[in-house]
C-alpha cells in the first residue's frame, strides 16, 4: 500500500513541477520560427529578380482606378458553382515604368479566383512609385473581392 502512495506522491510532485524541457523546446521553436520567417522573406525578395521596395514616397496606383482591374476579371465558373466568395490578397511587383513584373497570391479563396486575380493585375498599368524624385521598383499588396450577386 505504501508503495502505491509513494508512486502517487511522486506523480503529484511531477505534475506540479515545471518541466525544464518545455522551456528549452520553446526557446528552440522561437529560433526556428524566426529563421523560417527570415528565409521566406529572402525567397520573396529574390524570387522577383531584384530588390523591390516595400515603401516609397509616392506609391504606385492603378491607372484608371480599381474599376480597371475589375473590368479584367471573369468570375471563374467553378467558383460560381461552389458559391465561393471572399478576398484574394496579392503581392504585386511593379517596375520603375509602372509595369507589373510578377504577381503572387498571398491568401486566396481557391476555385480559380486566385489565378483570375493574378491575371487581372498583370493586365493593368500602374503609375510608377517614386523615392526622392526617382522612379523605383515597388512591391505592393492589394486585394480583390469576389462577390456573387
Choice among 6-10, 61-65, 131-135 with the minimum mean pLDDT? 6-10
H/E run at residue 79: helix 77-82
Report whether pLDDT(34) > 80.
no
Contact 140, 103 (CB under 8 A): no
DSSP 8-state symbol, 120? H
Superfamily of domain 61-146: TonB (3.30.2420.10)
Q: Domain ranges for the chain, please list them.
A: 2-47, 61-146
Report whether pLDDT(129) > 50.
yes
H/E run at residue 147: none
This prediction's pTM: 0.65
| Whole-number pLDDT of residue 32 | 72
Amino acid at each position: 500500500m505504501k508503495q502505491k502512495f509513494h508512486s502517487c506522491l511522486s506523480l503529484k510532485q511531477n505534475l506540479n513541477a515545471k518541466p525544464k524541457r518545455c522551456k528549452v523546446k520553446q526557446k528552440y521553436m522561437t529560433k526556428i520560427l524566426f529563421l523560417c520567417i527570415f528565409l521566406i522573406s529572402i525567397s520573396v525578395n529574390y524570387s522577383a529578380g531584384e530588390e523591390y521596395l516595400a515603401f516609397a514616397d509616392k506609391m504606385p496606383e492603378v491607372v484608371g482606378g480599381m474599376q480597371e482591374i475589375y473590368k479584367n476579371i471573369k468570375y471563374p465558373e467553378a467558383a460560381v458553382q461552389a458559391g465561393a466568395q471572399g478576398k484574394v490578397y496579392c503581392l504585386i511587383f511593379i517596375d520603375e515604368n509602372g509595369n507589373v513584373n510578377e504577381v503572387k497570391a498571398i491568401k486566396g479563396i481557391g476555385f480559380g479566383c486566385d489565378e483570375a486575380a493574378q491575371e487581372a493585375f498583370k493586365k493593368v498599368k500602374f503609375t510608377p512609385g517614386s523615392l526622392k524624385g526617382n522612379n523605383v521598383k515597388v512591391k505592393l499588396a492589394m486585394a480583390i473581392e469576389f462577390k456573387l450577386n
